[in-house]
Amino acid sequence: KKEEAEIRNEADNLIYSSDKLITQDFKDKIKPEQTEKIHKAVNELKDAIASNNIDTIKSKIQETKTILAEVSTEIYKNIGQQSETATSSSSNTTSEDNTDTNNPDSSSNNANQTEQQK
């Protein structure tokens, strides 16, 4: 009984976090086909809960976690690429604008300041 309750709680939490992921947290960063995959997995998990079959619920929890992991990895990869692009372009601009040609240490100081600002 206790294990069943824990599994149901895990399933409910997974449903909640999946819904939050696609409706709030990363709504604008998830592709429509990824959203559809998550919806499908969540609906199958809800059906499994309704069936009261613990083995099916466990299986659907794993499937849903796998899909969420794939989507999350892609989201963070895309966010990382966007921030790297933004950081490198702003760093280049800052370094070029602030370099003092009379002071050989100024460019390394600017680089340190840029690192600290991040």
Which DSSP string corresponds to 85-116? HHHHHHHHHHHHHH--TT-TTHHHHHHHHHHH
User: Which tokens belong to 51?
Assistant: 């069936």
Between 75 and 39, where is the model more confident?
Answer: 39
Q: Would you state the pLDDT for residue 87?
A: 67
CA distance 59 to 79: 30
Q: pLDDT per residue over 8-21, tens digit each?
A: 999 999 999 998 88
Domain extent listing, the chain: 2-117
Residue 92 has pLDDT above 50, yes or no: yes
- Please tell me the total number of residues recorded for the chain in this structure: 118
Arithmetic mean of pLDDT, 92-110: 50
